[in-house]
């Protein structure tokens, strides 16, 4: 299929220069590559800039209420597992007001493809801090800087038992398309954190990795089965060291030809290494503080197979029905204790 | 005797709900009309023997039964605390209180069966008696016939050779009481035995000992025959004359069955998104167990997810429902607004309980009416229905689905604790006799030209859902353009849409039954009620010789409401709130003089009090 088949007739109203434009195009490309026909695709969103996305995709779409996209998408997918269901959400929609639905869709492993647009700001309400804004962030609602620790979404996803986590960047189209396609191919709840720039209220929030000149040194695109090599000259690699006193493992940068350089295994059920990789660049106050030389991990970090909720729910119904003595209302009524008048 | 009221009362671990239900079911099978009222404490297990732990179950049976009865004719008190609660009613906590007919749960000529083994000093202390003689302390009138029975001793005696441990034996005390009450009403033992066999189908080891205790209880009654006379009840009134198969059913179960029937009739999958909340949870239980009926029942992470998963399923083309009680309805408000705006079919069942906030979770009230009607942001009209008996919870759950699917709107069905847990006789219907349901699915000829704002001549938009090729569209909670269905912030368009949504609800009045009056229509006085008070108001109207208009359709109202009400000189709206329906009627019919009678005690009406009010006493 062609990306153009997934373009709706609606004028795209993201601000000029907004990172969401790029993700919108990546979505159209990824959907075409995946090839599920438009009428079998449902895109559900909450409220926020990113939640406008369904309007620009020529599929079934539902732009709902703030934070509830996850619960509504769960209803769509569970009742109709034959559909491909996407959820479009932002750092506020997903992690603040919709936090409960977010952790439960992951815990249940509902087969959804969730794009979480992380611009670390509330854009649609014109510039308040979000749960991913770095500590001390100055915004309209935090004029003296925030005093709270931010979420690192990956940590939340892995802590909730997530089976798929990918991270991508608005300016890296190929990685974004790859992550979106992989999310769709993964059976279960796939979280794709899209680091996007808010050109109006939080311009340059991901500059350390978004700037072309800096990206090679500050980011690594992980690929399943490939060595973890990065740097402008492809001269650096990633390895794990375990502190001999505390047994705490940590990621370290080594020379690319060091035999300790790790090969990425996204399918490893144990999340320990995925967590270390996903937290690279995080100093506790948010991502991308790269003083220790560790790059921010992009690409599919975790991709593990597990039975999905929608599949299990539907299977249970099929199994019960297969052995059921009564299957219709009238038959059910015959089983009641009754007497005739 | 035409009919009688029996109240089983004991500790919450004494099996009073089971005993009461068995007795009601037995009565129903023998051809009596029944109406039941379970009245249990909020605590799952309050400390044993205390006043807070008293659990009651009241049943009225006989002919022309409309309610579970104001006051009992027969009391079974399993311990000292139960005796106190039955005698003092809501005043049981007053240190100096004694029998007062106004508050007592039984009248002056009642028979009170008491377990004398449960009146030890320790029992009396736990139940906060100050003397060692509960009967004189409570000042029970001499007209009350006290029947002391050593229930515990006799039960132990009955099971001494069973090999059961003491704890299990004590648990069977309720069966002795059951047997005794069966004797009192001359109910045949063979039917009762059959009932026990069925009740303990899954625990066959319990059948023999329980039967033994019950039969011993019955035989013990024979020994009492000199001091207590048996009561013979009339069998069934005229309301039961429609031939068919009957069962006794609780409102929550009837509601679940109504949803199942509607889904099958409409050819839709039934989806339930719900979160446990008293007193609505039994609907979730019933539907979670009905996978054989192809029901998908999801226990969501919270109330909001309950309604939102349902909205997702409705968007995807299912018959979608959510079930809750007052606090949950508050949490669902925003999402119900979404369903109004997105114009999706959705059934919301609110089993009302005492509020506000956590309120009285196990008690009954009609206080969510205005919340159901108006409790959303914006101009947000939805359909509101109310069931008026445990049995017709089936009909109105079915009707709620029919209206939702045919009119692309959320429908809020109001029931309450009284209907939900109480039981009534129900004629079991067949799917074929239920009205057709025609979901508003988009006609094939609109393929390629569809948008979510397209309406039929009634003003109802068409339903297209994922999987249908050529109908791809974007639905929204934002305002939509009346022509194109896309986002619109145009001021005139918004007003057009607000009115379109309003009109869509109003036109439903064309298709619902007209309001009919119960009574001879010669009276100047009309009692008006809605929902679960029908039985009590019917009984009151009979006693007063006046008419009754009971509303099941609240929003929209039946078309002839004005015509009916304006024929009466005196209109008294009776509700278990402070006058919500009365306020609504006054706003709709400002020319009428509308009086109101209200009680908000977490209990159903007492017929007697309504009669006194209307008579001006």
Q: Do A55 and B305 touch (CB under 8 A)?
A: no
pLDDT at B119 over 70: yes
Structure tokens at A182: 């992989």
The CATH homologous superfamily for domain B3-239 is: Pyruvate-ferredoxin oxidoreductase, PFOR, domain III (3.40.920.10)
What pLDDT digit, counting tens, does each position of B508-553 carry?
Answer: 999 999 999 999 888 999 999 999 999 999 999 999 999 999 999 9
Q: Is the pLDDT of residue B237 over 90?
A: no
CB nearest to A39's CB, from B243, B316, B468: B468
Instruction: Check if the beta carbon of residue B227 is closer than 8 Å to that of residue B149.
Output: no
User: Right CATH number for B525-614 from 3.10.20.340, 3.40.50.920, 3.30.2020.30, 3.30.70.330?
Assistant: 3.40.50.920
The pTM (predicted TM-score) of the whole model is 0.94
Q: How far apart are CA B518 and CA B516, in angstroms?
A: 7
Mean pLDDT of chain A: 95
- B238 band by pLDDT with thresholds 50, 70 and 90: low
Interface contact flag, B240 A329, Cβ < 8 Å: no
Query: At which residue do the structure tokens 């013979």 appear?
Result: B232
Q: Would you kindly state where each structural domain of chain A is located, as residue ranges? A: 3-309
Tokens linked to A4: 């153009």
* Predicted pLDDT at A284: 67
Residues A132, A94: contact at Cβ < 8 Å? Answer: no
Quote the percentage of chain B above a pLDDT of 90: 85
Q: How confident is the model at residue B236 (pLDDT cuts 50, 70, 90)?
A: low
What is the chain B residue with the closest CA to A37? B469
Residues 101-120 of A with CB under 8 A from B: 101, 104
* DSSP code, position A135: T
CATH superfamily of domain region A3-309: Thiamin diphosphate (ThDP)-binding fold, Pyr/PP domains (3.40.50.970)
- Closest-CA distance, B426 to chain A, in angstroms, reads 10
Which of A96-110, A183-197, B18-32, B465-479 has the lowest average pLDDT?
Answer: B18-32
Residue in A313, A327, A338 closest to B246 by CB = A338
- What pLDDT does residue B162 have? 87
Residue B41: pLDDT above 80?
no
d(CA B222, CA B331): 56
In this prediction, residue B230 has a pLDDT band, given cuts at 50, 70 and 90, of confident
What is the per-residue pLDDT across A93-112, written as a single tens digit (0 to 9) for each? 999 999 999 999 999 999 99
Q: What is the pLDDT of residue B617?
A: 81
Q: Is the pLDDT of residue B32 over 60?
A: yes
Cβ distance A71 to B301 less than 8 Å, yes or no, reads yes
**Would you list the DSSP string of B291-303?**
GGGTEEEEE-SSH
What pLDDT score was predicted for residue A286?
67
Question: Tokens standing for B601?
Answer: 């005690």
What is the phi/psi pair of residue B261, to 5°? Answer: -60, -45
Residue A78 has its nearest CB partner, among B28, B242, B296, at B296
pLDDT higher than 70, residue A290 = no
* A82 burial level (CB within 10 Å; 0-12, 13-18, 19+): exposed
Interface test with A, best of B472, B473, B476, B485 (most A CBs within 10 A): B472
Give the pLDDT confidence of A211-256 residue by residue, as tens digits.
988 899 999 999 999 999 999 999 999 999 999 999 999 999 999 9
What are the two backbone dihedrals, phi and then psi, of residue A147, each rounded to the nearest 5 degrees?
Answer: -115, 5
Distance of alpha carbon B450 from alpha carbon B98, whole angstroms: 72
Beta-strand runs (E) in chain A? 41-45, 60-63, 84-90, 113-118, 164-169, 190-195, 219-222, 229-230, 236-242, 249-255, 296-303, 339-340
Model pLDDT for residues B136-188, shown as the tens digit of each residue: 999 999 999 999 999 999 999 999 988 889 888 999 999 999 999 999 999 88
* Confidence at residue B42, expressed as pLDDT on a 0 to 100 scale: 72
**Is residue B79 helix, strand or coil?**
coil
CATH superfamily, domain B247-433, is Thiamin diphosphate (ThDP)-binding fold, Pyr/PP domains (3.40.50.970)
Token reading at B580:
């919500």
pLDDT for the residue numbered A115: 98
Confidence of residue B224 (pLDDT cuts 50, 70, 90): confident
Mean pLDDT lowest among A219-233, B201-215, B217-231, B560-574:
B217-231
Contact B247 A336 (CB under 8 A): yes
- Decide if pLDDT at B124 tops 70: yes
A78 in reach of chain B (CB within 8 A): yes
Query: Does B473 contact chain A (CB < 8 Å)?
Result: yes
CB of B273 within 8 Å of a chain A CB? The answer is: yes
What pLDDT, on the 0 to 100 scale, is given for residue B243? 85
Could you give the count of Cα atoms lying within 13 Å of B58 in the half-sphere of its Cβ? 21
List residues bridging with B112 in a β-sheet: B75, B146
Question: Distances from the Cα of A115 to the Cαs of A224, A279, B312, in angstroms?
Answer: 20, 19, 18
Quick one: pLDDT at residue A289?
57
Q: Compute the distance between CA of residue B91 and CA of residue B93 in angstroms, rounded to an integer.
A: 5
Q: Is residue B190 packed enough to be buried (19+ CB in 10 Å), middle (13-18) or exposed (0-12)?
A: exposed
Cβ contact (<8 Å) for A62 and B247?
no
- Give the closest residue to A262 by CA, choosing from A278, A241, A243: A241
pLDDT at B519: 92
Which residues of chain B does CATH 3.40.920.10 include?
A: 3-239
Written as one string, the DSSP assignment of A213-247 is HHHHHHEEEE-TTSB-EESTTS-EEEEEEE-TTT-
Residue B495 contacts residue B376 (beta carbons within 8 Å): no
> What CA–CA distance (Å, rounded) separates B15 from B23?
12
Statement: residue B414 has pLDDT above 80: yes
How many of the other CB atoms lie within 10 Å of CB of A145? 13
Q: What are phi and psi of B234, to 5 degrees?
A: -75, 150
Question: Is A160 within 8 Å of chain B by CB?
Answer: no
Task: Write out the E strands in A82-199.
Answer: 84-90, 113-118, 164-169, 190-195
Reply yes or no on whether the pLDDT at B235 is more than 80. Answer: no
Token digits for B59? 């049943």
> Which of B:198-237 have CB within 8 Å of A?
198, 236
Q: Residues of chain B with pLDDT > 70: what percent? A: 99
Mean pLDDT along residues B438-446: 97
| ipTM surpassing 0.90 | yes
- Comparing A176-190, B60-74, B472-486, the range with the smallest average pLDDT is B60-74
* Cβ–Cβ contact B292 with A under 8 A: yes
Confidence of residue B239 (pLDDT cuts 50, 70, 90): low
- Over residues B300-325, the mean pLDDT reads 98
**Cis check: omega of the bond before B356, within 30 degrees of 0:** yes
Residue-level pLDDT at B157: 94
Question: B163: distance to nearest CA of chain A, Å?
Answer: 32
Q: Which of A39, A60, A327 sits opposite B292 (nearest CB)?
A: A327
Question: What is the least distance, in Å, from the CA of B105 to any CA of chain A?
Answer: 31
The pLDDT assigned to A341 comes to 75
Residue found under tokens 């690319």: A256
Shortest CA gap A84–chain B (Å):
10
| Record: contact B246-A341, CB cut-off 8 A | yes
Instruction: Give how far B109 is from chain A: nearest CA, Å.
Output: 34
- pLDDT greater at residue B229 or residue B87: B87
**What is the largest distance, in Å, between two alpha-carbon atoms of chain A?**
90
Quickly count: other Cβ atoms within 10 Å of residue A60's Cβ.
Answer: 29
Alpha-carbon distance B477 to nearest alpha carbon in chain A (angstroms)? 5
If pLDDT is split at 50, 70 and 90, which confidence band does B471 have? Answer: very high
């Amino acid at each position: 299929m062609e990306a153009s088949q997934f373009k709706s007739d609606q004028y795209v109203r993201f601000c000029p220069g907004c990172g969401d434009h790029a993700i919108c195009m990546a979505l159209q490309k990824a959907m075409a590559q995946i090839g599920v026909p438009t009428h079998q695709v449902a895109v559900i969103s909450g409220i926020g800039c990113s939640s406008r996305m369904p309007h620009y995709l020529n599929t079934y779409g539902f732009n709902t209420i703030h934070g509830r996209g996850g619960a509504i998408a769960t209803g769509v997918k569970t009742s109709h597992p034959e559909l491909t269901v996407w959820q479009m959400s932002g750092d506020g929609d997903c992690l603040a007001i919709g936090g409960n639905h977010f952790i439960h869709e992951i815990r249940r492993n509902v087969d959804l493809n969730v794009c979480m647009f992380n611009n670390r700001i509330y854009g649609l309400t014109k510039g308040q801090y979000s749960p991913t804004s770095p500590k001390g962030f100055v915004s309209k609602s935090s004029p003296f800087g925030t005093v709270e620790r931010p979420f690192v979404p990956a940590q939340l996803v892995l802590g909730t038992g997530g089976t798929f986590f990918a991270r991508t960047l608005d300016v890296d189209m190929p990685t974004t398309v790859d992550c979106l396609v992989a999310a769709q191919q993964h059976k279960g709840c796939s979280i794709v954190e899209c680091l996007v720039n808010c050109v109006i209220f939080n311009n340059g929030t991901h500059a350390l990795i978004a700037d072309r000149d800096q990206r090679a040194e500050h980011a690594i695109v992980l690929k399943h089965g490939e060595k973890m090599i990065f740097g402008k000259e492809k001269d650096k690699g990633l390895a794990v060291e375990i502190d001999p006193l505390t047994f705490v493992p940590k990621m370290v940068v080594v020379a690319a030809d060091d035999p300790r350089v790790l090969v990425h295994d996204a399918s490893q059920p144990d999340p320990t290494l995925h967590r270390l990789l996903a937290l690279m660049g995080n100093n506790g106050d948010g991502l991308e503080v790269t003083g220790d030389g560790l790059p921010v991990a992009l690409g599919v970090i975790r991709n593990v197979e597990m039975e999905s909720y929608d599949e299990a729910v539907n299977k249970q119904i099929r199994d019960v029905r297969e052995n059921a003595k009564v299957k219709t209302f009238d038959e059910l009524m015959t089983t009641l204790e009754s007497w005739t008048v | 005797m035409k009919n009688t009221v029996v109240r089983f009362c004991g500790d919450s671990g004494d099996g009073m709900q089971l005993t009461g239900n068995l007795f009601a079911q037995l009565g129903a099978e023998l051809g009596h009309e029944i109406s039941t009222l379970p009245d249990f404490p909020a605590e799952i297990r309050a400390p044993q023997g205390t006043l807070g732990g008293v659990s009651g179950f009241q049943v009225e049976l006989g002919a022309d039964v409309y309610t579970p009865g104001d006051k009992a004719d027969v009391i079974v008190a399993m311990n000292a605390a139960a005796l106190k609660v039955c005698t003092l009613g809501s005043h049981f906590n007053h240190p100096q209180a004694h029998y007062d007919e106004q508050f007592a749960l039984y009248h002056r000529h009642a028979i009170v069966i008491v377990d004398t083994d449960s009146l030890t000093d320790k029992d009396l202390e736990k139940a906060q008696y100050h003397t060692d003689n509960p009967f004189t302390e409570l000042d029970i009138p001499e007209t009350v016939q006290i029947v002391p029975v050593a229930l515990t001793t006799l039960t132990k005696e009955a099971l001494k050779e069973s090999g059961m441990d003491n704890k299990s034996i004590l648990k069977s005390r309720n069966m002795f009481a059951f047997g005794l009450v069966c004797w009192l009403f001359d109910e045949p033992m063979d039917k009762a035995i059959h009932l026990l066999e069925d009740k303990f189908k899954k625990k066959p080891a319990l059948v023999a000992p329980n039967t033994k205790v019950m039969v011993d209880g019955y035989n013990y009654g024979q020994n009492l025959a000199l001091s207590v006379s048996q009561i013979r009840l009339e069998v069934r009134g005229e309301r039961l004359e429609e031939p068919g198969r009957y069962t006794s059913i609780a409102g929550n179960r009837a509601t679940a069955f109504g949803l199942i029937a509607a889904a099958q009739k409409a050819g839709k999958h039934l989806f339930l998104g719900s979160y446990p909340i008293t007193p609505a949870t039994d609907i979730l239980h019933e539907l979670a167990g009905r996978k054989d009926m192809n029901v998908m029942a999801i226990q969501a992470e919270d109330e909001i997810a309950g309604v939102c998963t349902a909205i997702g399923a409705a968007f995807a083309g299912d018959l979608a429902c959510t079930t809750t009680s007052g606090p949950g309805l508050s949490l669902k408000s925003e999402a119900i607004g979404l369903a109004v705006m997105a114009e999706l079919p959705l059934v919301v069942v609110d089993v009302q309980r005492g509020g506000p906030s956590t309120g009285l979770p196990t008690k009954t009230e009609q206080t969510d009416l205005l919340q159901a009607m108006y409790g959303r942001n914006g101009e947000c009209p939805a359909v509101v229905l109310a069931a008026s008996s445990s049995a017709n919870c089936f009909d109105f759950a079915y009707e709620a689905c029919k209206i939702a699917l045919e009119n692309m709107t959320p429908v809020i069905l109001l029931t309450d604790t009284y209907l939900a847990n109480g039981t009534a006789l129900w004629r079991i219907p067949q799917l074929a006799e239920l009205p057709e349901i025609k979901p508003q699915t988009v006609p094939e000829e609109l393929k390629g030209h569809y948008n979510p704002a397209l309406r039929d001549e009634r003003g109802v938009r068409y339903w297209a859902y994922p999987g249908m090729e050529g109908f791809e569209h974007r639905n929204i909670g934002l305002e939509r353009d009346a022509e194109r269905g896309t986002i619109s912030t145009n001021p005139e368009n918004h007003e057009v849409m607000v009115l379109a949504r309003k009109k869509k609800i109003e036109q439903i009045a064309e298709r619902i039954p007209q309001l009919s009056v119960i009574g001879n229509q010669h009276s100047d006085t009309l009692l008006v009620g809605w929902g679960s008070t029908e039985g009590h108001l019917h009984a009151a109207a009979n006693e007063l010789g006046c008419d009754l208009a009971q509303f099941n359709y609240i929003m929209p109202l039946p078309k002839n409401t004005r015509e009916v009400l304006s024929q009466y000189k005196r209109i008294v709206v009776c509700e278990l709130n402070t006058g919500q329906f009365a306020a609504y009627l006054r706003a709709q019919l400002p020319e009428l003089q509308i009086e109101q009678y209200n009680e908000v005690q977490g209990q159903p009406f007492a017929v007697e009090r309504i009669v006194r009010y209307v008579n001006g006493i």
